[in-house]
Structure 1
Amino acid sequence: MLSWWQNLPSGMDPIIFTVGGFPVRWYGMMYILAFAVVYILTRYRIKNEQLPYSPAFVGDALTWAMVGVLLGGRIGYLLFYSFPEFIANPLGSIIPVSFSGGCSFSGIAGMSYHGGAIGVIIALMLFTRNRKVPFLKTIDLFITALPLGYTFGRIGNFINGELYGRVTDAAIGMYFPSAPGFALRHPSQLYEAFFEGIVLFVILWTIRKQSPYPGFLSGIYLFGYGFVRFFIEFYREPDAHLGFVFMQFSMGQLLCLAMMAAGIGVLLASKQLSLAGQRKQ
């Protein structure tokens, strides 16, 4: 059993099947599952909590969010983790199409969670302004289901054998074929899937009906994700081309500190907005 666990990554194929030479990968499928989970759980909230939103509203908002996460995730990766590549070829770095010797799909290598989060925030700001609905209430509507959807993304990373952890002597370690050397490493993707995904989902889902003001759940999510991932990063291998960015902290940890600060800022600002609204009434 222990041998099976430690060698599990070697037996996983990131490609589900191939259609006409085009590979359908687990990673892409996990993105679809993530959005499906958020859609289903949000629809459940609207129906069972009598929230003033239509089913079409959920689908429209998630369509905007999907564009935001893809563009934000890619641009964020280029800015935070691969800035020289972005400067050398801005358009080619973002668009997954190669025009060398014709036109072909070149694929996207590298996505940033923090960039994706920023992309979703911007997309939903534009969406809510277009629909003339409250921004913070809209974010809070989806935020309770988001961590569970995020779990699938990290499982996709695990199947891809990427974003693996640091070398360890612990039995929980695994051999990742794409990692340098032959050593047990922390399955940090699974740590993230559990703590940033399932645990954070349980917390937000449990307190969703006790939210004291719009923006509270969003602030808790931002701080909670940043807090949990900051410590998991101690078990995750830093990006080889960056290493430790500041002292013994990785780029991910610095971004998580900023995310925690943003979470506190959202909690304080949204509370003040709520109090100001109550005084006007």
Structure 2
Amino acid sequence: MANLAGINLALQTPFSEDGTVDYKTWERLIDQYIEAGVQGLVLGSGTGQHPYLAEEECDELYRIGIRQIDGRCNAICQSSALNFDEVIRRSKKADALGANALMILPPYLEGPSDDDGLLEFYREIDGQVGVDIIGYNIPQATGISVSPDLYLRLNGLRNFNYIKDSAGDLTTHQRYLQGGGKVLNGCDTTTVYALMAGAVGAIWGGANFAPLESVALYGHVAEGRYAEALALWKRMLPAMLHIWTHDYVPCVVAAAHHRGFGTGNVRKPLRSIDQTGKDELLVALAPLLEGGK
């Protein structure tokens, strides 16, 4: 089993102004975030605009990304897709390239939503890869909620060893933890509380613009420095609340660019935030910026 404890940064995908993937900036971003101390990078994450990337682009991002990471931190690849054969194909490719884990959404958009159907979905994937599977609970996007009872059943699969919980419901989150599985927090606004409750780490989109602070926050909690963690969290929270309650990916990308990470561009159908949005974002970032890097 891969050790995914710590901050697994849900890596933005850098785009040029014309919407093409900027692979050189991708390499540079990987180095920047590893230098900041992250324990893992999620390639092709939701924050990386996975739904708007072609399969061939993902393959290239994973190939370059895993090579650039070169064992310096965990490499997690999202291999989600609507077409089941594509999920298998993407998963096998990422596994062969050397991914430490795969993050896979349940079969959203009119796929099976009952527990037996979801279990069978992950069971078939589990039988065809030899690397850890991270289930992905984000019901606000998929319309599917992984129940704590289903999570217990999924943990019986050979490779299903983690769940990323982005729902933001701390009650369900703690029920996952009570079941004995390894939970990764995915809701920006609950991070410090999830870590204190026992989550082994986070898969974190907001870390794109606050990598040093995110790593420091995890370190404070892991070493029992809760007062320091909460003081740092007070500075981070306005920005985390802002991205969670506005256009998430455009805000994260804009904030990251403001702090020297990435190109600041998004791919259609997403739109960059306007000047009013940027002004509001800077207000939310101010407490974080006042603390420096």
Larger Rg: 1
Higher strand share: 2
